[in-house]
Amino acid sequence: MRHARFLPVALVAGGLVATLPSDLLAASPPTHAHAAYAAVDPFIGTGGEGHTYPGATVPFGMVQLSPDTQIKPRKEAYGWAAGYRYDDTTIVGFSHTHFSGTGHSDLGDVLLMPISGDVRLERGDVSKPLSGYTSRFSHEGERAEPGYYAVTLDDYAVRAELTASARVGVHRYTFPAGKPAHVLLDLRTSLYDYPGKISWSRIRVQPDGTVTGFRETRGWAPGRQLYFAMRFSRPLAGHALHNTEQDIPYKGFAPPAAEDPTRRAQIEGRQLVATFDFGAAEAAPLVAKVALSPVSERNAIANLDAEVPDWDFDRVRGAAREQWTQALAVLEVDAPDDARRALYTALYHSLLGPTLFMDVDRRYRGPDQDVHVADGFTHYSTFSLWDTYRALHPLLTIVQPPERTSDFVNSLLAHRRQSPYGILPVWSFHGLETWCMIGYHAVPVIADAYVKGIRGFDAGAALDAMVASADYAPYDGIGAYRELGWVPIDEEGEAASKTLEYAYGDWTIARMAAAMGRDDIAKRFTRHAANWRHAFDAKTGFMRARNRDGSFREPFDPSASGYGTDYTEGNAWQYSWYVPQDVAGLAKAHGGVDRLLARLDAVFDAKVDASVFAHMEDITGLIGWYAHGNEPSHHVAYLYAHAGQPWRTQERLAMIMRTQYAPRPDGLAGNDDLGQMSAWYVFTALGFYPVAPASNEYVLGRPFVPRATLHLPNGKRFTVVADGLDDAHTYVGRVTLDGKPLARTFIRHEEIMAGGELRFTMQATPDRRALRGRDALPYSQSTARR
Amino acid sequence: MRHARFLPVALVAGGLVATLPSDLLAASPPTHAHAAYAAVDPFIGTGGEGHTYPGATVPFGMVQLSPDTQIKPRKEAYGWAAGYRYDDTTIVGFSHTHFSGTGHSDLGDVLLMPISGDVRLERGDVSKPLSGYTSRFSHEGERAEPGYYAVTLDDYAVRAELTASARVGVHRYTFPAGKPAHVLLDLRTSLYDYPGKISWSRIRVQPDGTVTGFRETRGWAPGRQLYFAMRFSRPLAGHALHNTEQDIPYKGFAPPAAEDPTRRAQIEGRQLVATFDFGAAEAAPLVAKVALSPVSERNAIANLDAEVPDWDFDRVRGAAREQWTQALAVLEVDAPDDARRALYTALYHSLLGPTLFMDVDRRYRGPDQDVHVADGFTHYSTFSLWDTYRALHPLLTIVQPPERTSDFVNSLLAHRRQSPYGILPVWSFHGLETWCMIGYHAVPVIADAYVKGIRGFDAGAALDAMVASADYAPYDGIGAYRELGWVPIDEEGEAASKTLEYAYGDWTIARMAAAMGRDDIAKRFTRHAANWRHAFDAKTGFMRARNRDGSFREPFDPSASGYGTDYTEGNAWQYSWYVPQDVAGLAKAHGGVDRLLARLDAVFDAKVDASVFAHMEDITGLIGWYAHGNEPSHHVAYLYAHAGQPWRTQERLAMIMRTQYAPRPDGLAGNDDLGQMSAWYVFTALGFYPVAPASNEYVLGRPFVPRATLHLPNGKRFTVVADGLDDAHTYVGRVTLDGKPLARTFIRHEEIMAGGELRFTMQATPDRRALRGRDALPYSQSTARR
């Protein structure tokens, strides 16, 4: 799937003219690819609560090298989950690992800071310039594009540029000439910081000047080990290794030169910081390259040597740019600049995770903290599954080669094999389980892949893993759920949400089992898929949590949210529509489609005081009760079309696209959640959305760009056209697929992958004719029907 | 080197008759081997400050499974360095790792305690019975023999028996019938305990009931990881996993069943304790087998399955007994019972370390904390080199096959390759460097092996490693030492001791280099070997520390000892005779042999108030200033003979053997130091001692047993006879080797290894005829001479 190489332009960054080496000057990329790359704005989402980072990475890369503007203690860490906030005016340093868009955090590993002149070992107070090593910066001195970030550190007059390969972050620091140049390495800092987070760490200066080390943290994932290896383009003139921990209970016997930080070859402890000195700065910039490894320092060195054997920052930058250009080339968009910026950036954000998690020798550290070899597949981690099973993983089945998805599935299956619990991951990163959020949403990811015909993994083992995970009694009330049909709220919190999501997960198991001819499993899980009915309270029309004795928990407040309520990051107004596997059944339970859709109108049209969610960090992006900033709402606007009344979806989507996205730093209404928010945007801009992954169907919305072509990984092209689209023509009239009228509210995955043209004729007024019948409505209009 | 199998007798232990499986009933061992095994008393050294442990291990085994009588905080831990003190009346539990005879401590990993009835999770107060899980015991209910230990835990009426294979500890617990039986696993306890020592730990109950886990400690060796796997002979009726840490700063998201300790499958943290329940006890005892691994839980399981696939405690015990019988068979002694007990126990203590440190797949964790494979050799760790280079390693070249020593050398060389410092270990255990004590005494161990003709390692790489270690400037003043010829006390503490020991180490490098024909190195280090002269103060007749400017440090107090003085664990009276490589030179510096020996008399005959060493834990076993409880004195009594006046050595040895050793728990005058004290005893009892390892010569003392035969690993026999030895005849008259008069004060290594008979004719009065001349005195009478 290798695109032709392209002719790069000279890149002017902060006055430094960077050129690309001749081996990249081979051939031209598709014209649109170049423009796609240029359209991406990595700053989108770095303001507000988008929690994206602007730094350098390659698609699905293991290293995310990005500036951290402040290091916040745990209680204030939410807004700094990606290390960077656009409103900040300081930079603490450049660390090598970041989540894109999470609502919780960790990482921020191996922080480097170039320092000119005097070295201070502490970060200092951001309100007091020069009180520590933190420097001021401004957005004028800043630049970001996929795989490249540059900033001027005003307090040091240092130009810092960052780029990355898969496992290596490369820094180019231009120091003011004549002044002493230093690089500080801080192993004490961490995103989501708290005292005691670092359980152990180590820095070694090897005889050849290579700096290696490790740290083990007790964070979101406990017992996380990460190793690194770092080399500088100039010999060390000196170094100092410090342990700043106060009152170390027992230091042990002294290693060589223990009393002299400048002569130590190694240091271990829990609060380590090092400085590396390069004498008076020369005109040539200093290049620092830092490789990560989950396995060992030795492996980090191997990663470094394999990926960046030279000192050519521009080569690495050019290679990153080429990878991004290739990845973004999947989408060719004809649209106004703002829409292009928003859409390509959304696509960019959809290609940041899951992230590569194995060394060049294919070894990685698994959920048992042991080292394993990824035999025959590429191992990934960072699975924010509660978010990403909805739209991100389905999108990746379209915009990435199928091998990417089968690698994901193999990674999930490896996790299951290596898990001490014997189940698929819930929310994992760096190989480790965090138990964050609810459900067993690795299950729909695998089922979606399988029913789409993606192979390259052991389907029998996958189905076993899915069933084992769905039946794992000790986890979040599953034991009682299998016994009763619902999660009892008197035994398990957030029981309504869990019952609903388990039922959907069960349906996806049934789908895959049926496709495999495993009728016993299909039958059992089809039965379980109807468990959503146990949560439905016909009296109030809401999904609610039952007690073990079958009664609903009282008192009931449909606006109530929070830990300990019936719901997970939401309330009854948000969670009551989560039956993607049986929308027809849901409508029937409500007394018919119109009754259900009237309830959805009540959701969108409610007058809601946002302060009702002041205690909930993740419920943002409100339109009435609809909360676009969090995932439980993401399919809701599509339910109108799904139920046969597409014009109402078109209206709601216009409202959401207008109010919840903007191509500026604070342009995301909530956490990007490893690309789920962005994947929603990509799908919605193209006019369709996977309401029920594993159904193989996408519900039609309306396009938000005049024309877009998917250059599919299978070589075919699928084009979406919105004829007559402008601000006055926002409703869909006629829809054709390859010229033939498409009298349905959905399109099939295989229709997209076959290539062709989906053409919407836009009009000024809604087409209020409802569509009905088994051929017009998606599969999940009746789970019993097909 | 496999001896014939022998016919075991039924072993009666605490009323339980244990039988050996039929496959061990094959053949008879040498008659003396059986008796040798029976003569060993593992309790010797467990009282006083011997710091030996009475528990179960195999020769050089990785597991040392032994009772811990109290867990002491750091400041009180010295006396409990091996976990057990004979005077104690309680047992906390049985842990799987112990040093034999150290003066510092660590280990005590994976502590198990069988509990009958109610479970208490804390150890409790030893002065308040039943205040915790600790139980009382008495020596009446206790039994120890090599590879086997048994005790009755009085508070539970539980009979606990322990045995071990190389990597697996096997427990057999007989619970009182009818009462609930439990096993408690405490990962919080550690020898040399202090708050914060456990940086991370983990316990997992695998689906098949196997319990695995890990802990990482910041102890004597920082960042030490140890993994374990445990299986029980009966299915678990229940379990509970607890984290007793207070105020955990951040717990992360809850894993399955987090609130219920009895349903958790896994727990991680810094203060973990678990209980395993087996219902009402049955008549059949419960067997628990625990494997260790430095690599991973998976490797621990592999070790367990490979070594102890069954539940046959008696088979494992029988195999341990067979290994010990074979190992002890090297020495056949004809002597009174007390002497036999002392001598065989000393031999036993000489075979406990270095300890195996690799898994069955040959992997281990090295000084870089990374996992390595021991390719072509068996990897050992626990190198207490400052102690053991003196007599223990030389003894092992005689009583063990040469492969054992070449494995040690290969392990030392692997450490050097994997060391972040690029040097040989100083004091290492579990693969890690502790930097304990001084010198580079891996160097004489390797040189001694090489000059004795032991091969099986890369001699060129070995010499490189020796030179690199001896030239490693940042370590303990070596940079200045190479520059000046002495370690300057104004820059580095304990400088006199360091100068002396470096000079000896340098001589051993020269010895090996000369033997290899590497004349350049031999020449340089022969020059360095004379650096002891820089420490000699002709005015006072003591070795002293010089400042960089060449002046001796003032004021000078020859009785002063302690950290920061001129000496390491000693004073001028103890350290001034440390020139084993050039005793003639030392005598000359003193103004002649008689002047030197008069000084030695002053050492032994001084009236010393022992309270002068109250601040020094390790200086014990005083005879005047002579401190047999610590290593710097160990060669001193032999210097008389070495200098040609053997009768004076004979007198001093009698005094030392009479006052410093006894075959009872408090029978060691000081820490056994991984067998150094015991190896001194073995040599001395046999009548010779390696004053200068790497000289290939042993200085003659006098035998302390009437007859002893070494059944050498090469199949030859070397017999020492002391004709007429009794309490009235303690001096040596005539000495013959194979019937020919031996008019020398030494015997060569090759003479021993060739087999033969060394016969001493004992007499009542000293033979005061001094021996003189190059043929009569050892090599090191003049380093320049040969």
Residues of chain B with C-beta less than 8 angstroms from the C-beta of A252: 218-222, 434-435
Give the pLDDT score at A743.
94
**Residues B316-331: pLDDT tens digits?**
999 999 999 999 999 9
Measured from the Cβ of residue A136, the count of other Cβ atoms closer than 10 Å reads 17
Asked whether the predicted pLDDT for residue A726 surpasses 70, the reply is: yes
Asked whether the predicted pLDDT for residue B3 surpasses 60, the reply is: no
Q: Which 633-692 residues of chain A touch chain B by CB within 8 A?
A: none
Task: Report, as an integer, the average pLDDT of B577-603.
Answer: 96
Backbone angles phi, psi at A750, to 5 degrees: -65, -25
Q: Is A371 on the interface with B (CB under 8 A)?
A: yes
Measured from the Cβ of residue A667, the count of other Cβ atoms closer than 10 Å reads 21
Q: Which 58-117 residues of chain B touch chain A by CB within 8 A?
A: 74
Report residue A781's pLDDT band, with 50, 70 and 90 as the boundaries. low
Report residue B28's pLDDT band, with 50, 70 and 90 as the boundaries. low
Q: Is B380 on the interface with A (CB under 8 A)?
A: no
**Residues A112-157: pLDDT tens digits?**
999 999 999 999 999 999 999 999 999 999 999 999 999 999 999 9
Where do runs of H (alpha helix) occur along A5-91? Answer: 31-39
Classified as helix, coil or strand, B178 is coil
Strands in B636-696 per DSSP E: 688-689
Is B252 close to A435, i.e. CB distance below 8 A? yes
Partner residues linked to B184 by β-bridges: B113, B275
Q: Are A248 and A269 in contact (CB under 8 A)?
A: yes
Q: Is A220 on the interface with B (CB under 8 A)?
A: yes
Is A266 close to B298, i.e. CB distance below 8 A? no
Residues of chain A with C-beta less than 8 angstroms from the C-beta of B270: 199
Residues of chain A with C-beta less than 8 angstroms from the C-beta of B195: 249
Q: Is A222 on the interface with B (CB under 8 A)?
A: yes
Give the pLDDT score at A12.
31
Q: Is the bond into A555 cis (omega within 30 degrees of 0)?
A: yes
Asked whether the predicted pLDDT for residue B786 surpasses 50, the reply is: no
Q: Which of B252, B297, B435 is opposite residue A434, by nearest beta carbon?
A: B252
**Residues B204-262: pLDDT tens digits?**
999 899 999 999 999 999 999 999 999 999 999 999 999 999 988 888 888 998 889 99
Asked whether the predicted pLDDT for residue B46 surpasses 50, the reply is: yes
CA pair distance B290, B644, nearest whole angstrom: 54
Q: How many CB pairs under 8 A join A and B?
A: 132
Q: Is the bond into B401 cis (omega within 30 degrees of 0)?
A: no
Quickly tell me which residue has 């002694």 as its tokens.
B333
Residues of chain A with C-beta less than 8 angstroms from the C-beta of B200: 199-200, 216, 218, 222-223
Positive or negative, the CA dihedral A116, A120, A123, A129 is: negative
Task: Report, as an integer, the average pLDDT of B612-636.
Answer: 91
Query: Distance between the two ends of chain B, CA-based, in angstroms?
Result: 36
DSSP secondary structure letters along B594-607: HHHHHHHHHHHH--
Q: Are A679 and A348 in contact (CB under 8 A)?
A: no
Give the pLDDT score at B659.
93
CA pair distance A526, A674, nearest whole angstrom: 30
DSSP state of B322: H
Q: Are B404 and B352 in contact (CB under 8 A)?
A: no
Is A296 close to B253, i.e. CB distance below 8 A? no
Instruction: Sheet containing B158-164: give its strands across.
Output: B143-145, B148-153, B158-164, B168-174, B286-293, B224-232, B211-217, B198-205, B266-269
Residues of chain A with C-beta less than 8 angstroms from the C-beta of B222: 200, 252, 268-269
Q: Which of A194, A216, A266 is opposite residue B250, by nearest beta carbon?
A: A194
- Of the residues A194, A251, A253, the best mutation for testing chain B's interface (the one with the most B CB atoms within 10 Å of its CB) is A253
Q: Which 279-308 residues of chain A touch chain B by CB within 8 A?
A: 296-298
Q: Is B156 exposed, middle or buried (0-12, 13-18, 19+ CB in 10 A)?
A: buried
Give the pLDDT score at A258.
85
Q: Is A257 on the interface with B (CB under 8 A)?
A: yes
- CA of A215: which chain B residue's CA is closest? B223
Residues of chain A with C-beta less than 8 angstroms from the C-beta of B219: 250, 252
**Residues B760-783: pLDDT tens digits?**
999 999 999 999 888 899 986 544
Residues of chain A with C-beta less than 8 angstroms from the C-beta of B74: 250
Q: Which 195-214 residues of chain A touch chain B by CB within 8 A?
A: 195-197, 199-200, 202, 204, 206-207, 214
Task: Report, as an integer, the average pLDDT of A289-302.
Answer: 98
Is B195 close to A249, i.e. CB distance below 8 A? yes
CA pair distance A289, A297, nearest whole angstrom: 14
Q: Which helix (H) or strand (E) holds A689?
A: strand A688-689
CA pair distance A451, A694, nearest whole angstrom: 6
Rg for chain B, CA atoms, rounded: 26
Task: Report, as an integer, the average pLDDT of B379-395.
Answer: 98
Largest Cα–Cα separation, chain A: 83
Partner residues linked to B158 by β-bridges: B153
Q: Which of B197, B204, B427 is opposite residue A420, by nearest beta carbon?
A: B204
Report residue B7's pLDDT band, with 50, 70 and 90 as the boundaries. very low
Q: Is B372 exposed, middle or buried (0-12, 13-18, 19+ CB in 10 A)?
A: buried
Is A421 close to B371, i.e. CB distance below 8 A? no
CA pair distance A107, A681, nearest whole angstrom: 27
Asked whether the predicted pLDDT for residue A2 surpasses 70, the reply is: no
**Residues A375-391: pLDDT tens digits?**
999 999 999 999 999 99
Report residue A28's pLDDT band, with 50, 70 and 90 as the boundaries. low
Give the pLDDT score at A428.
98
Q: Is A263 on the interface with B (CB under 8 A)?
A: yes
Classified as helix, coil or strand, A380 is strand
Partner residues linked to A229 by β-bridges: A212, A291
Task: Report, as an integer, the average pLDDT of B543-553.
Answer: 98
Q: Which 405-424 residues of chain A touch chain B by CB within 8 A?
A: 420-422
**Residues A507-539: pLDDT tens digits?**
999 999 999 999 999 999 999 999 999 999 999
Report residue A774's pLDDT band, with 50, 70 and 90 as the boundaries. confident
**Residues A435-446: pLDDT tens digits?**
999 999 999 999
CA pair distance A94, A137, nearest whole angstrom: 13
In this prediction the ipTM stands at: 0.91
Strands in A233-383 per DSSP E: 238-243, 266-269, 272-280, 286-293, 331-334, 355-356, 363-365, 371-373, 380-381
Asked whether the predicted pLDDT for residue B14 surpasses 50, the reply is: no
Asked whether the predicted pLDDT for residue B27 surpasses 80, the reply is: no
Asked whether the predicted pLDDT for residue A665 surpasses 50, the reply is: yes
CA pair distance A768, B112, nearest whole angstrom: 74
Task: Report, as an integer, the average pLDDT of B39-67.
Answer: 98
Asked whether the predicted pLDDT for residue B445 surpasses 70, the reply is: yes
Task: Calculate how close chain A gets to B786, using CA atoms only, in Å.
Answer: 36
Query: Distance between the two ends of chain A, CA-based, in angstroms?
Result: 36
Report residue B25's pLDDT band, with 50, 70 and 90 as the boundaries. very low
CA pair distance A479, A471, nearest whole angstrom: 7
**Residues A201-235: pLDDT tens digits?**
999 999 899 999 999 999 999 999 999 999 999 99
Pull the structure tokens for residue A317: 């930058």
Give the pLDDT score at B149.
98
CA pair distance A167, A4, nearest whole angstrom: 24
Burial string for B125-135 (b: 16+ CB within 10 Å, else e) reads ebeeeeebbbb
Task: Report, as an integer, the average pLDDT of B34-52.
Answer: 97
Q: Is B371 on the interface with A (CB under 8 A)?
A: yes
Give the pLDDT score at A247.
86
**Residues B98-132: pLDDT tens digits?**
999 999 999 999 999 999 999 999 999 999 999 99
Q: Which of A74, A256, A427 is opposite residue B421, by nearest beta carbon?
A: A256
**Residues A222-274: pLDDT tens digits?**
999 999 999 999 999 999 999 999 988 888 888 998 889 999 999 999 999 99
Residues of chain A with C-beta less than 8 angstroms from the C-beta of B269: 222
Classified as helix, coil or strand, A416 is helix
Q: How far is CA B445 from CA A75, A632, B395, B508, in A?
A: 56, 69, 11, 9
Cα angle at B538 between B533 and B542, to 5 degrees? 80
DSSP state of A771: P
Is B218 close to A250, i.e. CB distance below 8 A? yes
Asked whether the predicted pLDDT for residue A653 surpasses 70, the reply is: yes
Residues of chain B with C-beta less than 8 angstroms from the C-beta of A194: 249-250
**Residues B684-693: pLDDT tens digits?**
999 999 999 9
- CA of B266: which chain A residue's CA is closest? A420
| Nearest Cα to Cα of residue B749 among B688, B684, B708 | B688
Task: Calculate how close chain B gets to A254, using CA atoms only, in Å.
Answer: 6
CA dihedral B52, B55, B57, B60 (to 10 degrees): -10
Pull the structure tokens for residue B75: 């400041």
- Of the residues B253, B418, B481, B618, the best mutation for testing chain A's interface (the one with the most A CB atoms within 10 Å of its CB) is B253
**Residues A345-386: pLDDT tens digits?**
999 999 999 999 999 999 999 999 999 999 999 999 999 999
Backbone angles phi, psi at A614, to 5 degrees: -60, -30
Q: Is B266 on the interface with A (CB under 8 A)?
A: yes
Pull the structure tokens for residue A169: 């972050």
CA pair distance B554, B568, nearest whole angstrom: 17
Largest Cα–Cα separation, chain B: 83
Is A253 close to B214, i.e. CB distance below 8 A? no
Asked whether the predicted pLDDT for residue A327 surpasses 50, the reply is: yes
Is A369 close to B214, i.e. CB distance below 8 A? yes
- Of the residues B200, B371, B487, the best mutation for testing chain A's interface (the one with the most A CB atoms within 10 Å of its CB) is B200
Residues in Cβ contact with A259 at an 8 Å cutoff, skipping those fewer than 6 apart = none
| Nearest Cα to Cα of residue B435 among B472, B395, B398, B482 | B472
DSSP state of A423: S
Give the pLDDT score at A110.
98
CA pair distance A1, B64, nearest whole angstrom: 57
Give the pLDDT score at B504.
98
Q: Is B194 on the interface with A (CB under 8 A)?
A: yes
Q: Are B219 and A252 in contact (CB under 8 A)?
A: yes
Q: Which 472-501 residues of chain B touch chain A by CB within 8 A?
A: 472, 474-476
